[in-house]
Structures are given as structure tokens and as C-alpha cells.
Amino acid sequence: MSTAPHIVIDSGIPYISGVFESCGARVSYLAGREICRAALSDASAVVVRTRTRCDAALLEGTPVTIVATATAGTDHIDIQYCASHGIRVASAPGCNADGVKQYVLTALYAFARRKGINLRGLTMGVIGVGQVGSRVADLASALGFRVLRNDPPRAIRESTFESVPLEQVLAESDIVTLHIPLWEENIGFASGDFFGRMKQGSIFINAARGEVVDENALILARSNLSGLILDVWAGEPLINKQLLNIADIATPHIAGYSAQGKINGTIAVVRAVADHFGIDQLKDFSLPLASRPLALDASMSQQAITEALLGRYDIWADDTALRCAPGSFEALRTNYSYRIDF
């Protein structure tokens, strides 16, 4: 590293404070929504989360040469702009996949206990079978669910992957869970036609992105669903109060907020920035693990599985916190106590 870089970092990223300073870098910490072009006037790198939109409005005229996001998704980054201006983009694919897996199954079993639903032998449709969806599908299969996997883009990339047609997934699934990325063509993916094709009395789960669902269509379809579990919302941090009131479980976009997920994200961005600037001391940066194994399989009773999951993660506490203070959506995320995943 010939010249010490100036790195602007979202202050909400955990476990990163002091890391680059120890190698001589100059670091500025700002809340994600406060990172602006002026703050990057002499910065060579910016490390963000989803709350910072990285596009021409932010980056034009700055000396930034790398944008690193401690998140799995990159929908908050204008990839094309960065590529055309020689700005490297780094992310952390799969960093929070186990946390979201834990969230989805915990939410499902917690809801089933409260409503007296027997989950044994039900069919789960997983739409989007990437890093997150594949783990949700695998665990659900291990717990005895019949799993239908839908991911046409993956089927194109991988000849061995079979994507079940969406129409079949919606018609046959007792539980439908979304795990698709927020690409432009996916905005409003789950619309009136989508919900109209779902099996009567099924359960709908969205822990992907709020914008992939047409919320007005979901509200209209609610009476045909036996369960509604939402972690993500269009227009965050301002959320649809009507939708909040009709959801069975509602949380403030924290499905992936496990300690290990955050550790994985931080490791990824530190290594990427270190590689970019030739900071040899940090190219193999690591942090202690923050996850514990949990034995779950189809031989266990539903009660035993539910108790094991809720023993690790009290999802009702997150649901109550959001319902009591929906206007504090961002604060609930910022001050969240990261759970231990498995």
C-alpha cells in the first residue's frame, strides 16, 4: 500500500471499527443515509449497506475506486455506472443465508403453533433458489416437507438443476416463500395474478425484498391466505400500516441479522478492500465464528422442532417490537441484537 487510502464506512457495519486504522488507513464513519458526495470528496473507497444508494448522484466526480457492500445483494448499487467509470464493486454473496434460513423456518413453526396447524407432509414452494433459497429448501426437505423449487435463471445456468414451473408451484404449495433478487424485472413479481394462482388457504412468506411484491395486490389477496409472514416492505423505512396489521408475523427486515451473517459480510468487505489497495495484513482477515449447530430432522415431532427453533430465536419479540413502534423501523434495525444462527 503506497499511499494510505481514505475509506468512508457505514457506521452500522459491525466488527469493522479500527480494522483499517490498524494498517494506517484514514477512516470516516457515517450513518448509511448520511453518506453523500461531499463526504466522498477525497475518499478512495466507500463501504456500505443497503441504505446507501451508490450511483452517479453519489459517486460522480469523487476519487472512489471501489464500492464494497457488506450485504448479499447489490440492488442499491448502479453496477453499470460503476463498471463504465472503472469503479470496482464487491459484495458478500450468501453472507446471511443461514440467518434467513433460520428466520423462515422459525417463523413458519411459530405461526403453525399459534394457529394449531399440522405441518407434517405439507408442500413448500421455494421461489428463487440461490444462496438463501437453496438452504431454506434443503432444511425444509430435511424436516419432511415436499419441496418444489422454482428458479428459471438457475436452470439456464445449470443443466442439472430442475426448475418446477411457477404455475405448478403456486397451485400445489401449502407454503410459498420468496427468495428472488431485486432486479428491475422482478419489481412487483408477486402481483394479483401470482396471488390468484396460489392454493386456497396457503401461507405466504417474503424475506427477500419488499419491492418484489405488489403490496396492494397482497392486501386484496389476504383473505385467501391462511398465513402471512413478512420481513421486508416496499418503501422502507416507511411501511404500509394496513399490511402490517393483517400480517401474522411482521418484522423490520432483520431475517438475515444473525451475528455470523454480519461477521461474514464484514470479512468479505475487509478482504475486498484490502485486496484492492494491496493491504497485505488484511487480505486473509477473519473473525471468530458466532454460530452453533442445531440438530433437526424429520424424525422429530413438530413440537420438538418448534421448541428447538424458538429456543434459539424468539421471533415474537421482533414482531412485537415492530407493531409497537412501526415508525422506529430504522432504529429497530440499527439497534438490533444479532442472534446466533445455526
**Catalytic residue selected from 51, 76, 209, 271:** 209
Q: Is the pLDDT of residue 261 over 60?
A: yes
Can you list the domains of the chain with their CATH numbers?
6-91 (3.40.50.720), 97-255+296-334 (3.40.50.720)
Q: Which of 51, 253, 271, 333 is catalytic?
A: 253
pTM, whole model, 2 decimals? 0.91
Q: Which three cell numbers stand for residue 252?
A: 423490520
For residue 162, is pLDDT > 50? yes
Annotated catalytic residue 236: yes
Per cent of the chain over pLDDT 90 is: 94
- What's the whole-number average pLDDT of the chain? 96
- 49 part of the active site: no
pLDDT, residue 342, reads: 87
Arithmetic mean of pLDDT, 155-182: 97
**What is the rounded CA–CA span in Å between residue 45 and residue 76?**
16
Q: Which pLDDT does position 1 carry in this prediction?
A: 47
C-alpha span between 226 and 111 (Å, rounded)? 10
Written as nine digits, the cell of 236 is 422502507
Q: Compute the half-sphere exposure of residue 341: CA atoms within 13 Å on the CB side of its CA.
A: 24
The yes-or-no answer on residue 253 being catalytic is: yes
pLDDT at position 4: 84
Q: Cα-Cα-Cα-Cα dihedral of 33, 133, 198, 218, to 10°?
A: -10
pLDDT at 290: 86
| Mean pLDDT score, 254-273 | 97
Name the band, by pLDDT with cuts 50, 70 and 90, for residue 2: low
**In angstroms, rounded to a whole number, what is the distance separating the alpha carbons of residues 290 and 231?**
22
In the 3-class helix/strand/coil scheme, how is 134-202 assigned residue by residue?
Answer: HHHHHHHHHCCCEEEEECHHHHHHCCCCCCCCHHHHHHHCCEEEECCCCCHHHCCCECHHHHHHCCCCE
Grid cell for residue 147 = 419441496
Q: What is the largest CA-CA distance in the chain?
A: 64
Per-residue b/e over 326-341, b at no fewer than 16 CB within 10 Å?
beebbebbeebebbbb
Under a CB-based contact definition with an 8 Å cutoff, are residues 123 and 154 in contact? no
pLDDT in tens, 43-99: 999 999 998 999 999 999 999 999 999 999 899 999 999 999 999 999 999 999 999
Lowest mean pLDDT among 1-10, 192-201, 290-299: 1-10
Give me the percent of the chain exceeding a pLDDT of 70.
99
Instruction: Choose, from 146, 172, 236, 276, the residue flagged as catalytic.
Output: 236
Instruction: Using pLDDT thresholds of 50, 70 and 90, give the confidence band for residue 193.
Output: very high
Instruction: Look at residue 42 and tell me whether its pLDDT is greater than 60.
Output: yes
